[in-house]
Amino acid sequence: MQILTDFSLKNYNTFGIEAKAKEFVSVHNQAELKEVLIQFPSSKKFILGGGSNMLLTKDIDALVIHVDLKGKKIIDENDDFVWVEAQAGENWHEFVLWTIDQDFGGLENLSLIPGNVGTTPIQNIGAYGVEMKDSFVLCEAMHIETTENLIFTKEKCRFGYRESIFKNEVKDEFIILSVVFKLTKRNHQLNTSYGAIDTELAKNGILQPTIKDVSDAVIAIRKSKLPDPKELGNSGSFFKNPVILKADYDKIKVKFPEMPSYTVSETEVKVPAGWLIEQAGFKGKRFGDAGIHQFQALVLVNYGKATGKEIYTLSKTIQQTVFEQYGISIEAEVNII
- Neighbour-count burial of 211, counting CB atoms closer than 10 A to its CB (0-12 exposed, 13-18 middle, 19+ buried): buried
Residue numbers 215-234 binding ligand EPU by CB under 6 A:
226
Q: Which of 241, 261, 302, 307 binds ligand EPU (CB under 6 A)?
A: 241
Instruction: For ligand EPU, give the closer residue by CB, 45 or 283.
Output: 283
| Closest CB 218 distance from ligand EPU, rounded Å | 9
Instruction: For ligand EPU, give the closer residue by CB, 183 or 297.
Output: 297
Residue numbers 77-136 binding ligand EPU by CB under 6 A:
127-128
Whether 237 is catalytic: yes
Q: Which of 135, 164, 296, 315 binds ligand EPU (CB under 6 A)?
A: 296
Pairing state between β 126-127 and 268-270: unpaired
Whether 333 is catalytic: yes
| Closest CB 234 distance from ligand EPU, rounded Å | 9
Choose the catalytic residue: 85, 140, 200, 333. Answer: 333
Number of residues that bind ligand EPU (CB under 6 A): 17
Instruction: For ligand EPU, give the closer residue by CB, 239 or 312.
Output: 239
Instruction: For ligand EPU, give the closer residue by CB, 296 or 302.
Output: 296
314 near 290, Cβ under 8 Å?
yes
Instruction: For ligand EPU, give the closer residue by CB, 179 or 197.
Output: 197
Q: Which of 260, 281, 284, 327 binds ligand EPU (CB under 6 A)?
A: 260
Q: Please tell me the distance from the alpha carbon of residue 181 to that of residue 95, in angstroms, as a whole number.
A: 11
Choose the catalytic residue: 162, 178, 215, 261. Answer: 162
| Closest CB 274 distance from ligand EPU, rounded Å | 2
Residue type, 18: E
Of the candidates 22, 29, 27, the one whose C-alpha atom is nearest the C-alpha of residue 7 is 22
List of residues 6+ apart from 19 with CB closer than 8 A: 8, 9, 10, 13, 56, 57, 58, 59, 60, 308
Q: Please tell me the distance from the alpha carbon of residue 300 to that of residue 280, in angstroms, as a whole number.
A: 15
| Closest CB 44 distance from ligand EPU, rounded Å | 28
Contact between 237 and ligand EPU per CB under 6 A: yes
Q: Which of 50, 106, 229, 274 binds ligand EPU (CB under 6 A)?
A: 274
Q: Which of 23, 85, 131, 333 binds ligand EPU (CB under 6 A)?
A: 333
Instruction: For ligand EPU, give the closer residue by CB, 12 or 128.
Output: 128
Contact between 160 and ligand EPU per CB under 6 A: no
Instruction: For ligand EPU, give the closer residue by CB, 215 or 241.
Output: 241
Of the candidates 66, 84, 160, 82, the one whose C-alpha atom is nearest the C-alpha of residue 121 is 160
Q: Which of 12, 159, 275, 326 binds ligand EPU (CB under 6 A)?
A: 275
Contact between 236 and ligand EPU per CB under 6 A: yes
Distance spanning both ends of the chain, measured CA to CA: 26
Choose the catalytic residue: 164, 237, 261, 315. Answer: 237
**Residues near ligand EPU, by CB under 6 A:** 127-128, 226, 236-237, 240-241, 260, 272, 274-275, 278, 283, 296-298, 333
Which residues carry out catalysis? Answer: 162, 237, 333
